[in-house]
Homo-oligomer: A and B are copies of this chain.
């Protein structure tokens, strides 16, 4: 059996009782470690091992992509638990994993947990009126994609809120390493709300047509380390967000659409 076990967002104790039982009994335990991190662990998985009393093998992007079949082999005769930060269906990677299991007639079971897609409700914005979720990637000198902006504008036109997930670079090779075929990785990087706001402000400058819909004065919400003890929520203008520090990762940014009075009251708590 293949178990996909959601870990939630904050610390080791955010796993469900059902999930913990699975992890403690499974024959093999893998941690998917490239689409997200558990805030309190800072990417170090030894606290998970201590809490579970189990060895946890870290499955980075390469392991999952090149060794998926080997992991599934283990699920034919034994129980494999693949641990995923948040909820298992937050990233397409895991849908792909389930599909491979189904193709091989390997039974699977999903132990759900909190995802940032529902936990974001803690800022007071109604989950029902969120539109499409967008991902904001780190820009480079030469690569500045801005399709996220069109999606935000479309959500705003529909009066929907937008959850912006911010880029995570874990175990990425540098361009130099790629060119020389070296096994050298860059330091992990996590986009913070100020960087996201700066990139958004730059797109706004270039897009005259949309300046009536989203401006530097729009109220936005920055969220950090949701679900952990050090959780922080800050509501201010997009302009101010571009120079706001809400601490360590993970961050996400929300662009509110039309506000209900109850939502305005809740946001006021975080101003």
A residues apposed to B, CB below 8 Å:
6, 8-18, 20-21, 87-90, 92, 95-96, 98-99, 102, 110, 112-115, 117-119, 121-122, 124, 126-135, 154, 158, 160, 226-227, 262, 265-266, 269
Contacts and interface: CB of A to CB of B under 8 A. Distances in A.
A135 B135 CA distance: 27
Integer count of this chain's copies in the complex:
2
A18 B9 contact: no
A226 B132 CA distance: 23
A92 B262 contact: yes
A128 B133 contact: yes
B132 A92 contact: no
Contacts of A9: 112
Given A16-B8, A112-B8, A118 B102 contact: no
Given A8-B113, A13-B21, A114-B115, 6 more contacts: A10-B18, A13-B16, A89-B127, A95-B126, A114-B114, A131-B131
Contacts of A118: 87, 89-90, 112, 114-115, 117-118
7 contacts: A89-B121, A90-B118, A90-B127, A128-B133, A128-B134, A131-B132, A131-B158
Contacts of A21: 13
B13 A89 contact: no
Contacts of A227: 112
B92 A126 contact: yes
Contacts of A115: 114, 118, 127
A154 B160 CA distance: 12
Contacts of A90: 118, 121, 127
Contacts of A124: 95, 98
A157 B119 CA distance: 27
A267 to B, nearest CB: 11
Contact of A127 (B16, B114, B133, B266): B133
Given A17-B20, A18-B13, A18-B14, A114 B117 contact: no
Contacts of A92: 126, 262
Contacts of A133: 127-129
A15 to B, nearest CB: 6
A68 to B, nearest CB: 15
Nearest to A89: B121
Given A17-B14, A266-B95, A132 B112 contact: no
A15 B13 contact: no
